Amino acid sequence: MNSDKKQNGHSAALKNIVGLMGILIAMPLTACSNEPEASKDVAQNLQMEPEVLEGTAQNVQTEQEATVAEQETEAIADDLLGESTDSEIKGNETINAEESSVNQQENSLQAVENANSERTAEELLDLFINGSIGAVDSTDLTSSFYISDLNMDSGEWDSFSIGEKVDLDNDGENELILNGPYGGMYLDARDNSVYEFASGDGTALTISYTYYNGAIWIMYSNRSSAGFEFYHMEKFEGADNLTAEMNFGEEFDQNNAEAGIKYTLNGNEISYDEYTAFCSKIFAAEVSTN
Ligand SMILES: [Ca+2]
Ligand SMILES: [Ca+2]
């Protein structure tokens, strides 16, 4: 114990010396490797800062029983230079040791932070599946639900089941599909949370997804009434970043029976052939998530 204390005391004192000397020596020494005349610079520097020098000299005398305080400024500079290699190495070792211990602390803090705040989308979705975390309702951020709040795997028509993980929002990470009524719901994981970003809501709002022009699109289908079908598609680049929308549908105009069925794409009327060609692409690639 005592020798530990003593060592600690000694190393603290040494650290003070080394620190002080380091301040004085660091710059000239750096120059030293390039310039053999550096010792003169040190001497000049020392002469220009007599107060600092005196302090250094006193410390050196006290802790190392050196007698440099009595000597000429130039002699001190020579001594400092003479001892500097050793001192500098010790100083660097001390500093390096401190830095590495600080780095280790930072690294372990970082690891804890990562574990808490930077879980992967996959991990977050699994945490939702096993009931550890809830999902935030993207239309009402104050509202969230757990998987235990859902009617899971009961076999009833409106029950949910865990579906595939698919990159539904084209961001390179998978989202989670909960198969269920009207296409169930799609969950995105980001910013350390899970969000519901699409869900089916009745026959007028059934969700599915499809592939079109090299991307996945979320598709909302409305086939709720005889006489029309209407489809709305959304392309995301990240579930909170809607980048494109499309609308298309067919509608029988009851007031103008002679006109027959009207086909539209993004608000423009198109021919039956155009409409059929377009729809065949969309529906061929559509994946149902009921
Ligand atoms: Ca994704
Ligand atoms: Ca995503």
Ligand 2 centroid vs 238 CA: distance in angstroms?
5
Assigned token pair, 28: 């000239």
pLDDT at position 89 is 43
Alpha-carbon gap, residue 148 to 154, rounded angstroms: 12
**Could you tell me which residues are beta bridge partners of residue 114?**
none
Ligand (nearest to CA of 239): 2
Do residues 289 and 208 lie in contact, with contact meaning Cβ atoms separated by under 8 Å? yes
- pTM equals 0.60
Ligand 1 centroid vs 179 CA: distance in angstroms?
17
Assigned token pair, 102: 């600080």
Assigned token pair, 111: 């690891």
Largest CA distance in the chain: 117
Do residues 59 and 81 lie in contact, with contact meaning Cβ atoms separated by under 8 Å? no
User: 85 CB contacts (<8 Å, ≥6 apart)?
Assistant: none
Q: Which residue reads 């959304």 in tokens? A: 234
pLDDT at position 116 is 54
Phi, psi dihedrals of residue 117, rounded to the nearest 5°: -115, -10
Ligand (nearest to CA of 216): 1
pLDDT at position 118 is 79
Ligand 1 centroid vs 191 CA: distance in angstroms?
13
Query: Domains of the chain: which residue ranges?
Result: 2-117, 121-288
Ligand 2 centroid vs 229 CA: distance in angstroms?
29
Alpha-carbon gap, residue 206 to 200, rounded angstroms: 5
pLDDT at position 57 is 42
Ligand 2 centroid vs 220 CA: distance in angstroms?
19
Taking only the tens of pLDDT, the chain with its 290 residues reads 444 444 444 444 444 444 444 444 444 333 333 334 444 444 444 444 444 444 444 444 444 444 444 444 444 444 444 444 444 444 444 455 555 565 666 655 555 555 555 799 999 999 999 999 999 987 889 999 999 999 999 999 999 999 999 999 999 999 999 999 999 999 999 999 999 999 999 999 999 999 999 999 999 999 998 889 999 999 999 999 999 999 999 999 878 888 889 999 999 999 999 999 999 999 999 999 99
Alpha-carbon gap, residue 182 to 220, rounded angstroms: 10
pLDDT at position 140 is 87
Do residues 43 and 74 lie in contact, with contact meaning Cβ atoms separated by under 8 Å? yes
pLDDT at position 219 is 98
Ligand 1 centroid vs 193 CA: distance in angstroms?
14
Ligand (nearest to CA of 238): 2
Assigned token pair, 79: 């001594």
Ligand (nearest to CA of 166): 1
Assigned token pair, 229: 């079908």
Assigned token pair, 116: 């808490």
